[in-house]
Structure 1
Amino acid sequence: MTDYSALLSAIPAIRHGFGNKSALLPTDLQHYRDTQPEKRQVHGTRIVDVNQPAQACGDADGLYTAQPGILLSVLTADCLPVIFSRRDGSAIGVVHAGWRGLLDGILEHMAARIEQDDSTSAWVAAIGPAAGACCYQVNQELVELFQQRLSLPAKLISPQTRHLDLTAIAQYKLRNLGFAAVDNAGSCTICTLNHDPQQPQRFKYTSFRRNSHRRAQDPAHPGIKGRNQYAGIIITN
Structure 2
Amino acid sequence: MLLIPDWPASINVRSYSTTRQGGVSLPPYHSFNLSTHVGDNRDHVEKNRQKLFLEADLPHMPIWLNQVHGHTVLNLEGRSRTQEVQADAVYTRLPGQVCSVMTADCLPVLLTSFASNEVAVVHAGWRGLGRGILEKTVAQFCAQPSTIMAWLGPAIGPKNFIVGEEVRTLFILKDKKSAFAFTALDDGRYLADIYCLARLCLRALGVDAIYGGNDCTVENPEKFFSYRASQGVTGRMVSLIWFG
Same fold, judged at TM 0.5 (above): yes
Secondary structure, in 3 states, of the residue corresponding to 2:2?
Answer: coil
Structure 1: how far apart are the matches of 2:212 and 2:80? 28
Number of residue pairs matched by the alignment: 212
Q: Is the 8 A contact 2:53 2:60 kept in 1?
A: no
Q: Is the 8 A contact 1:72 1:233 kept in 2?
A: yes
Structure 1: how far apart are the matches of 2:208 and 2:193? 22
User: 1:134 maps to which residue?
Assistant: 159
Q: TM-score, normalised by structure 2?
A: 0.78
Aligned-pair CA distance for 1:72: 0.8
Structure 2: how far apart are the matches of 1:186 and 1:49? 29
User: 2:182 maps to which residue?
Assistant: 158
Compared CA separation, residues 148 and 29, structure 1 to 2 (3 A): farther
Q: Is the 8 A contact 2:4 2:16 kept in 1?
A: yes
Q: TM-score, normalised by structure 1?
A: 0.80
Structure 2: how far apart are the matches of 1:55 and 1:107? 25
Aligned-partner residue type, residue 16 of structure 2: G
User: 2:205 maps to which residue?
Assistant: 177
Q: What RMSD in Å do the two structures reach over aligned CA positions?
A: 2.3
1:209 pairs with 2:232: no
Deviation track 1:32-57 (CA, whole Å, cap 9, x = no partner) reads: 27431242111010111102562525
Aligned-pair CA distance for 1:14: 1.2
Deviation track 1:132-164 (CA, whole Å, cap 9, x = no partner) reads: 11111122332233323333241x221343111
Q: Which runs of 4+ in 1 moved over 4 A?
A: 23-29
User: 2:18 maps to which residue?
Assistant: 19
Aligned-partner residue type, residue 164 of structure 2: N
**Unmatched 5+ stretches in structure 1:** 193-201, 216-222
Structure 1: how far apart are the matches of 2:59 and 2:156? 26
**Which of 64, 86, 89 is equivalent to 2:91?**
64
